[in-house]
């Protein structure tokens, strides 16, 4: 009874379309004709054991035979990495029912636990096209999610992935809401906390719109793609890990959403809170410290915004059984020297090794955060956290713990530096009066960070520094000359990256 | 001084990705390495005389040589249809500056004339990716555009394309805001109006979320892709045309936006008004009649919504020098018998030919709209329009004018009927009490309309009809068995397409 005419033979085309699955077939093959497929149809593709939804590209020439269908790398992975020649069947993809909840949201309806779960389930199953993902992200942007919706979304995201249970209530975590270039305190804080016998199963994101996330930085020094059981072993052995959240499948839809947010250069407050809290809950944390840098060009720009975000984080955390403490910090200038995965890793190592070149602002901020966490967990008495953190760092115990964590994750390596660089100098003498953090992040991104791990920039000055004409302000690093040129071109149109003002006595 | 290493040789891959331009190159070719390109990078591609922005797909095998870059059909067209072997150069696409206005809109800022123009210019130039287009469409949805923004967007859309000037003030047009399946009055009204010596340069859209637009229906009977000058000649000769708006480049960004709206099944009120008014203004119209069907499952569902839309249409029109009259009509059930391009064309021809089988509701509604327009233009005295319209139709003058318009556009042909059909019958006797217009449109779409022009459905009953168990309610038509099966599957889950209620005496 089986009809052979419904099948095409798989060919792995070797085309990388990033995360969006694409299927290619002849526009005049029997399947395309029988099903009435057109270019960009959403189709369901099935092998014996797997299926996925893909966008269709139609081929009009001999690239493929009439019996073949080719799949992009993303589609090939979602189909369970089948062999060439395996039989594929096709049908129109069902309309994605949960998109009606996204449309409802646009017309003023609120997400409920049920509708948020339906959306997140469909996103996880790969049923949303890029156009649909973009509509979901956009519908949530502009502070359009209230507390109830944020909680609903957070719970749906936790439920969509795996979840750790460490059998204890004293599980710590930290997070920074971002927007401040170079603010790479996490590896240092984690090492100090774990060196004092506490548990900190740290998972981090890759960059959203910034030039580096903690996962990007850690990846220049060790393996961050840990399976669920690998991560469990590292934490049980060392008390902590520094892993990429996406690889352990904690809140897995977050990474899909993040890719679209990056393409739109858009961060929504509700999505941000759901992303942060869902990852912490799924990692098994019970107490979380959240760093909120505030400054005129940081992600959070006013005390009002910070307060709103604090409340949303604390209340969403509380609804999911997580004690959240927030710390509003100075976001008026970058932290540390480097911006970009490897350059920030170099700073982190200098601090951990008590190098005389280590950026003192990164050291002090890390100590301050670690102190809070030691006190939060009652390891240090109130007021004693800072001394305890400093001792841990100065004695080399933090560095030893950091290396041990890296070794447990698969080995420690030195971050690589970039082959191309260009230094920008002050045009006049004066005082450093202003940093545009957004332009700085943009410059480092244009130079190739985080895709090129060694790319980015070093900032050589701090607010209030006296500079002479010709003294270096910052250095750009790139893996390829094209990217360096691209960053330099941006500078042509945007001179106000670091402002020097002449002193008026 | 020229560096050969910056170029790759073009190969037309013959892959149809619909409107989104895609470029393929080896991930290890010199250009990808030198520029630091990754999968889904947005890249600018240049030939000698043309350039476009495309999404990058990276190839990891021998599909391409290291000296080749392949382009999708959309990219090939945007590059001016170059020969194989032509030299292509590549660079990172600049960030799309106008996206900051879309982000601003999400955070409560308003579009101005300047920012709306910047967005529309970038969309026209192909600088928006599908993800970005989706964010723009979503940002405008849910009635988020006020009158000033709608006017700004409309003016920007008019300015982005060509514009007719007929040297007279008495230029008529009509439009229906849609949502009512089968409501194909335009060809009949245009024929009646033009047969009375008036000028009506009618351009129509293809379907957005419906199973057919007027352009789709007309295409089953004549050519609708007219160049600007061809359209001018047809109108000067016959007083009217029935063309596809997209081909004459009136408000050209509208068709790009419509494709994304279709993928999202989303119509925004402000976008709708900008779309309608910009096309009418660009077509050179001065007086427009707009049909707004209102019903529980039509696009406009309440008298309140209709009033809001009326005001937005009239005020936006007035700001652009267009006299708009709106007519709220009954939207509780489909108009005519057929739903789908060819099936609606059959109904139109039956009305024009005074066939005894002609659906009377389509005839009466067309006469009513034509009467309004004859009175609006002062061709008929107030109250005399209906008699004048009826005489034009009954005498055969309207049909003669319709054929003459089709001949002028390239010849008249009979619409083709579909090979596969399936009739659904009533399960019990009773009275037809309710039509779900959205489900009816969805069924016709699933059956393949408008992509398969002959696909769709015939509705055999009207509200209030008495039916017996087993009497036909509607018939589905499809070009391919797969599509028919898909529509039937939808019926499994959605029984309430047409509701029959037993009479309670």
Contact B265 A17 (CB under 8 A): no
A330 touches chain B (CB under 8 A): no
Contact B131 A264 (CB under 8 A): yes
Q: Quick one: closest CA in A to B57, which residue?
A: A17
Backbone phi, then psi, for A394, in 5-degree steps?
Answer: -65, -35
What domain range includes position A14?
4-92
Question: A32: distance to nearest CA of chain B, Å?
Answer: 10
Instruction: Specify the CATH number for the domain of residue B448.
Output: 3.90.1170.30
Nearest to A14 among B60, B131, B481 (CB): B60
Q: Is residue B343 a part of any domain in this protein?
A: yes
Whether residue B266 and residue A103 make contact (CB cut-off 8 A), yes or no, is yes
- Sequence length of chain B is 505
Domain contains B270: no
Query: Measured between alpha carbons, how far is residue B357 from residues A338, B348, B352, B354, B422 in Å?
Result: 79, 11, 11, 8, 21
Within 8 A of B260 by CB-CB distance, chain A residues are: 131
pLDDT value of residue B504? 64
- The residue-averaged pLDDT of A402-420 equals 97
Rounded (5°) CA angle A143-A148-A149: 55
Cα distance between residue A498 and residue A426, in whole Å:
9
Percent of chain A with pLDDT over 70: 98
For residue A338, give the H/E element and its range: strand A338-339
Q: Which of residues 245-274 of B touch A (CB under 8 A)?
A: 260, 263-266
Mode of pairing for the β-strands spanning A68-71 and A7-12? parallel
**pLDDT tier at A2, thresholds 50, 70, 90:** very low
Yes or no, beta carbons of B15 and A63 under 8 Å apart: yes
* Cβ contacts of B70 within 8 Å, gap of 6 or more: B10, B11, B12, B13, B15, B23, B24, B25, B63, B64
User: How do strand A466-467 and strand B42-46 relate by DSSP bridges?
Assistant: unpaired
Cis preceding linkage at B450, omega within 30 = yes
Residue B16: predicted pLDDT? 85
Cβ–Cβ below 8 Å for B138 and A142: no
Domain annotation covers residue B85: yes
Radius of gyration of chain B (CA): 25
Other Cβ atoms within 10 Å of B223 Cβ, number: 18
Q: What is the pLDDT of residue B212?
A: 93
CATH label of the domain that carries residue A241: 3.40.1030.10
**pLDDT of the residue at A31:** 87
Which pair of structure tokens corresponds to residue B500?
């029959």
Q: Which of A40, A92, A452 sits opposite B36 (nearest CB)?
A: A452
Does residue B158 contact residue B124 with C-beta atoms inside 8 Å?
A: no
Report the gap between the CA of A62 and the closest CA in chain B (Å).
9
Whether B339 and B210 have beta carbons less than 8 Å apart is answered as no
* Interface contact flag, A137 B135, Cβ < 8 Å: yes
Q: Looking at chain B from residue 54 to 73, which residues have their Cβ under 8 Å from any Cβ of chain A?
A: 57-61, 63, 72-73
* Interchain contact, B15 vs A59, CB within 8 Å: yes
Residue A299 and residue A220 in one domain = yes
* Partners of A472 in beta bridges: A425
CB nearest A17 (choices: B40, B142, B479) = B40
- Residue found by looking up tokens 């912490």 in the block: A280
CB contact under 8 A, A107 and B263: no
The one-digit pLDDT tens for each residue of chain B (505 residues) are 334 447 899 999 888 887 788 999 998 888 887 777 888 888 999 998 999 999 898 998 888 999 999 999 989 988 999 999 999 999 888 878 899 999 999 989 999 999 999 999 999 988 898 899 999 999 999 888 999 999 999 999 999 999 999 998 889 999 998 778 989 999 999 999 999 999 999 998 888 678 999 999 999 999 999 999 999 999 999 999 999 987 888 888 887 888 888 888 887 889 999 999 999 999 999 999 999 999 988 889 899 999 999 999 999 999 999 999 999 999 999 999 999 999 999 999 999 999 999 999 999 999 999 999 999 999 999 999 999 999 999 999 999 999 999 999 999 999 999 999 999 999 999 999 999 998 999 899 889 899 899 999 999 999 999 999 999 999 999 998 888 988 888 888 788 899 999 876 5
Residue A463: the pLDDT is: 95
B312 and B428, same domain (yes or no): no
Do the beta carbons of residue A249 and residue A199 sit within 8 Å? no
Pairing relationship of beta strands B420-425 and B200-204 according to DSSP bridges? unpaired
Is A421 in contact with A475 (CB distance < 8 Å)? yes
pLDDT at A284: 95
Please report which residue ranges of A161-242 form alpha helices under DSSP H.
Answer: 186-195, 214-219, 228-238
Q: Are B442 and B416 contacting, i.e. CB atoms less than 8 angstroms apart?
A: no
The verdict on residue A264 lying in a domain is: no
Pair B347, B451 in one domain: no
> Distance between CA atoms of B441 and B339, rounded to whole angstroms?
8
Cα distance between residue B62 and residue B85, in whole Å: 17
How many domains does one find in chain B? 3
Q: Tell me, yes or no, whether B326 lies in a domain.
A: yes
CB contact under 8 A, B58 and A15: yes
Distances from the Cα of B61 to the Cα of A388, A427, B28, B84, angstroms: 56, 49, 10, 20
Report the range out of A149-158, A437-446, B60-69, B495-504 with the highest average pLDDT: A149-158
Reported as a single tens digit per residue, the pLDDT across A96-140 is: 889 999 999 998 999 999 999 999 999 998 889 889 999 999 999
Cβ contacts of B119 on chain A, cutoff 8 Å: none
Closest CA in chain A for residue B489: A94
Is there a single domain that holds both residue B483 and residue B382?
A: no
Do B446 and B342 lie in one domain? The reply is: no
Q: Say if B75 is an interface residue toward chain A (CB within 8 Å).
A: no
Q: Are B58 and A142 within 8 A, CB to CB?
A: no
C-alpha span between A167 and A162 (Å, rounded): 16
Residues A357 and A215 in one domain: yes
Q: Please identify which residue in the block is written with the tokens 């096709």.
A: A90
d(CA A468, CA A379): 47
B460–chain A nearest CA distance, Å: 26
- On whether residue A424 sits in a domain, the answer given is yes
Answer yes or no: do B354 and B430 share one domain.
Answer: no
Based on the fold, state whether residues B194 and B236 are members of the same structural domain.
yes
Question: A139 touching B, CB under 8 A?
Answer: yes
Largest CA distance in chain B: 94
CA atoms of A64 and B423, how far apart (whole Å): 38
B-chain residues near A17 (CB < 8 A): 39-40, 57
Q: Is residue B100 in a domain? A: no
For A174, other C-beta atoms within 10 Å of its C-beta total 27
Query: Is the separation of the CB atoms in A239 and A392 below 8 Å?
Result: no
pLDDT tops 70 at residue A402: yes
Same-domain check for residues A194 and A48? no
Q: How far apart are the first and last CA of chain B?
A: 94
The reply to whether B209 and B346 lie within a common domain is yes
Taking the Cβ of residue B470 and every Cβ of chain A, the question of whether any pair is shorter than 8 Å is answered with no
pLDDT of residue B94: 80
| Angle in degrees, CA A246, A347, A281, rounded to 5 | 30
Residue A493: what pLDDT? 79
Q: Between β-strands B430-435 and B466-467, what pairing exists: parallel, antiparallel or unpaired?
A: antiparallel
User: Is there a single domain that holds both residue A340 and residue A435?
Assistant: no
Phi, psi of A50 (to 5 degrees): -130, 160
Q: CA A14 to CA B26: how far, in whole Å?
A: 10
Q: Which residue, of A25, A57, A92, is where some domain finishes?
A: A92
Catalytic residue list contains B143: no
* Contact yes or no for B453/B341 (Cβ under 8 A): yes
Whether the per-residue pLDDT at A230 is higher than 90: the answer is yes
- Domain C-terminal end among B357, B389, B409: B409
Interchain contact A17–B (C-beta under 8 A): yes
Encode pLDDT of A307-341 as tens digits.
999 999 999 999 999 999 999 999 999 999 999 99
| Angle between the N-to-C axes of helices B253-264 and B113-124, in degrees from 0 to 180, rounded to the nearest 10 | 80
Q: What angle do CA A446, A447, A448 make, to 5 degrees?
A: 85
Contacts of B138 (CB under 8 A, 6+ apart): A106, A134, A135, A138, A139, B264, B266
Residue written as tokens 């013959």? Answer: B14
Question: What is the percent of chain A with per-residue pLDDT over 90, rounded to a whole number?
Answer: 70
Q: Is residue A180 part of a domain?
A: yes
Asked if residue B313 and residue B215 are part of one domain, the reply reads yes
Instruction: Give SS3 for B440.
Output: helix
Closest CB from B18, B73, B135 relative to A264: B135
Last residue of a domain, one of B349, B378, B409: B409
The predicted pLDDT at position A4 comes to 40
Of the candidates B449, B483, B433, the one whose C-alpha atom is nearest the C-alpha of residue B208 is B449
Residue, of A175 and B268, whose pLDDT is higher: A175
Nearest C-alpha in A relative to B99: A264
DSSP per-residue codes, A477-499: EESSHHHHHHHHHHHHH--TTEE
CATH number of domain containing A16 = 2.40.40.20
Can you list the alpha helix ranges (DSSP code H) found in B293-396?
303-319, 341-352, 360-376, 385-394
Say whether B9 sits in a helix, a strand or coil. Answer: strand
| Contact call for A18 and B40, based on CB within 8 A | yes
CA angle B492, B496, B501 (to 5 degrees): 130
Report, as an integer, the average pLDDT of A378-382.
Answer: 95
Q: What pLDDT score was predicted for residue A36?
A: 73
Categorise residue A423: left if φ over 0, alpha if ψ from -120 to 50, beta otherwise: beta
Annotated catalytic residues of A are: 267
Dist. CA B272–CA B144, nearest whole Å: 12
């Amino acid at each position: 009874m089986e009809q052979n005419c419904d099948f095409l033979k798989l060919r792995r085309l070797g085309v990388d379309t990033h995360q969006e699955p694409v299927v290619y077939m002849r526009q005049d093959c029997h399947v395309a004709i029988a099903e009435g497929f057109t270019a960009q149809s959403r189709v369901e593709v099935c092998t014996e054991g797997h299926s996925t939804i893909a966008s269709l590209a139609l081929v009009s020439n001999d690239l493929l035979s009439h019996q073949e269908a080719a799949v992009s790398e993303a589609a090939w992975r979602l189909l369970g990495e089948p062999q060439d020649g395996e039989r594929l069947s096709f049908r129109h993809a069902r309309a994605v029912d949960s998109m009606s909840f996204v449309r409802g949201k646009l017309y003023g309806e609120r997400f409920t636990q049920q509708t948020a779960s339906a959306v997140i389930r469909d996103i996880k199953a790969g049923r949303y096209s890029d156009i649909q993902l973009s509509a979901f992200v956009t519908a949530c942007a502009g502070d359009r999610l209230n507390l109830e919706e944020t909680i609903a979304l957070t719970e749906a995201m936790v439920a969509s992935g795996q979840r750790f249970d460490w059998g204890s209530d004293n599980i710590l975590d930290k997070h920074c809401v971002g927007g401040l270039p170079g603010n790479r305190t996490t590896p240092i804080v984690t090492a100090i906390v774990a060196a004092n016998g506490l548990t900190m199963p740290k998972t981090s994101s890759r960059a959203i719109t910034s030039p580096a996330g903690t996962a990007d930085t850690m990846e220049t020094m060790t393996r961050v793609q840990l399976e669920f059981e690998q991560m469990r072993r590292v934490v049980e052995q060392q008390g902590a890990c520094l892993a990429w959240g996406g690889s352990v499948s904690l809140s897995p839809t977050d990474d899909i959403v993040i890719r679209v947010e990056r393409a739109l250069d858009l961060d929504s407050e509700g999505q941000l809170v759901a992303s942060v809290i869902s990852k912490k809950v799924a990692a098994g944390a019970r107490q979380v410290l959240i760093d909120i840098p505030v400054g005129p060009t940081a992600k959070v720009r006013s005390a009002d915004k910070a307060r709103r975000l604090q409340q949303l984080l604390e209340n969403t955390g509380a609804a999911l059984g997580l004690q959240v403490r927030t710390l509003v910090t100075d976001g008026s200038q970058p932290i540390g020297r480097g911006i970009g995965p490897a350059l920030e890793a170099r700073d982190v190592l200098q601090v951990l090794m008590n190098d005389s070149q280590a950026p003192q602002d990164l050291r002090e901020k890390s100590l301050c955060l670690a102190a809070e966490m030691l006190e939060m967990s009652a390891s240090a008495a109130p007021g004693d956290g800072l001394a305890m953190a400093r001792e841990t760092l100065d004695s080399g115990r933090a560095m030893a713990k950091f290396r041990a964590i890296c070794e447990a994750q698969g080995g420690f390596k030195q971050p690589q530096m970039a082959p191309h660089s260009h230094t920008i100098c002050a045009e006049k003498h004066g005082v450093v009066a202003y940093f545009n953090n957004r332009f700085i992040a943009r410059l480092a991104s244009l130079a190739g960070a985080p895709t090129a791990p060694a790319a980015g920039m070093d900032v050589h000055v701090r607010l209030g520094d006296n500079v002479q004409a010709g003294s270096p302000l910052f250095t750009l690093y790139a893996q390829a000359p094209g990217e360096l040129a691209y960053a330099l071109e941006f500078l042509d149109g945007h001179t106000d990256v670091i402002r020097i003002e002449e002193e008026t006595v």
